[in-house]
Structure 1
Amino acid sequence: MSAELSILDLFLLASPLVKTVMLILLGFSIASWAMIIQRRKILIAARNQLQQFEDKFWSGADLSKLYAEVTAREHIEGIESLFVAGFKEFARLRKSNLNTPQAVVDGTHRAMRVALSREVDNLETHLPFMATVGSISPYIGLFGTVWGIMNSFIALGAVEQATLAMVAPGIAEALVATAMGLFAAIPAVMAYNRFTHNVEKLENSYGNFMEEFSSILQRQTSAAHSNAQ
């Protein structure tokens, strides 16, 4: 047997079970990287949208015109969905009989809270899968390694004189499973931690906007209620 073996050679020489483990880990790695790339794009877009909308919102734009501008678009997401949900409920409650300032503000706040929960759920899509890959991949790889090394030692028991050259390829192909487990787990864990932090920052920003927007609507409702009396 050649003293130098490539990763492909080690895969081809591995037992069927170890090959299955390697293929599972390879699938985990490919799926994880695809989700990492997708989540990164989505979170960057959400952060940019947050900045652009807040700049427009705090520039003193008329809320009715801003609402019409946002709802004119076909796809509404992120902080814009909170604004639309809040302003829509605000307008609906203002037209109802239960138009006391506190009732209007409470209803608006509940509508935005539901929208916030929905947006956070969207941002956290695929994060549990990354956490799962990061948690179980090393153990799956270790299982393949233990199985491969066990088979190597069982094979050694069938020969009278064992040498390092005989056992080394079997151990090497088994250790590849552990390496693949780490290769799948490390990027997934790093991405999960980073993306979770980014989602928390976005959620805090959305929550701050929600409270500030509620305060603005409360002031408007209180002023209108005072003028009506």
Structure 2
Amino acid sequence: MVFGELDIIHMIRNAGLMVQMVLLLLLFFSITSWTIILIKYRYIRRAYRESAFFTDIFWESRDLAVAFKEAQELRGSPVARIFRIGYLELKKLSEAGPQLPSDKEADATLSGRFTGIDNVKRSLKRAINTEVTRMTQMIPFLATTGNTTPFIGLFGTVWGIMNSFHGIGLRGSASLAVVAPGISEALVATAAGLAVAIPAVIGFNYFMQKIKIIESELESFSADFLNIIERDIR
């Protein structure tokens, strides 16, 4: 195993300048991709854990103010964040709609309350879009990595093979001893491109699936929250 690793290092050192630049570019993609994978894994795992915890608190609590207090402590929960936004909008609605004695004024107040509910709906919708945007940040880079790095590696391979054949022409010999080292060095670029692309594709598919699940939970929670508000007003 050590011997194989030393052979690869030796091949990289003796590769052409273009192949080395390709490998350096692939190293950049690999480091960046793994950094994004680790960051997003921790972020989404925390979002799952805290959102499940807050959802339990929300349904067990009969007072929205108590749920709001708990939501302020759960900074990593997307569900808690959209609840805070909806609750603050609802609080503005409650403060802006006092009960008035006149029937005409009462009808106007009721109309204003339903207009306020529309404001809450829009606020929740914007909050959900913001959360989805936040969760998907940097993830498209994984798709870009998965799509482009195999071709970058292939470019390095083609370039290396071209140099090998050019060397054959200069030496006037096509023996295996002359051809094999150059081609093996070039093929390292293809292997490196695949090694970078495969984890990026797996990570992209994994995170997009998890984000879709969280988005569905946000939509469901928003609908339930609005139902509670409309029921209380009526």
**Pick from 122, 142, 149: which aligns with 2:154?**
142
User: What is aligned with 1:92?
Assistant: 92
User: What is aligned with 2:135?
Assistant: 123
Q: Are 2:156 and 1:155 equivalent residues in the alignment?
A: no
What is the rounded CA distance, in whole Å, between the counterparts of 2:76 and 2:42 in structure 1? 17
User: What is aligned with 2:28?
Assistant: 27
Deviation per residue, 1:71-106 (Å, 9 max, x gap): 3x4946511110011011111122225653431221
Deviation per residue, 1:196-217 (Å, 9 max, x gap): 0000000000110000000001
Q: Is the 2:46–2:76 Cα contact (8 Å) retained in structure 1?
A: no
Q: Structure 2 regions of 5+ residues with no counterpart?
A: 98-108
Q: Are 2:191 and 1:179 equivalent residues in the alignment?
A: yes
User: What is aligned with 2:100?
Assistant: none
Deviation at 1:158, TM superposition (A): 1.2
User: What is aligned with 1:53?
Assistant: 54
Q: 1:69 to 1:194 in 2, by over 3 A?
A: closer
What is the rounded CA distance, in whole Å, between the counterparts of 1:171 and 1:88 in structure 2? 65
Q: 1:175 to 1:82 in 2, by over 3 A?
A: same
What is the rounded CA distance, in whole Å, between the counterparts of 1:61 and 1:191 in structure 2? 40
Q: Is the 1:82–1:112 Cα contact (8 Å) retained in structure 2?
A: yes
Supply the RMSD in Å over aligned alpha carbons: 1.8
Higher helix share: 2
Q: Is the 1:25–1:141 Cα contact (8 Å) retained in structure 2?
A: yes
Return the letter of the residue paired with 2:224: E
What is the rounded CA distance, in whole Å, between the counterparts of 1:65 and 1:58 in structure 2? 11
What is the rounded CA distance, in whole Å, between the counterparts of 1:129 and 1:161 in structure 2? 45
What is the rounded CA distance, in whole Å, between the counterparts of 1:130 and 1:191 in structure 2? 7
Deviation at 1:66, TM superposition (A): 1.8
Q: Structure 1 regions of 5+ residues with no counterpart?
A: 223-229
What is the rounded CA distance, in whole Å, between the counterparts of 1:158 and 1:99 in structure 2? 90
Segment of structure 1 superposing worse, 61-70 or 14-23: 61-70
The within-5 A match list for 1:200-215 is 200-215=212-227
TM-score (norm 2): 0.88
User: What is aligned with 2:177?
Assistant: 165
TM-score (norm 1): 0.90
Q: Is the 2:143–2:204 Cα contact (8 Å) retained in structure 1?
A: yes
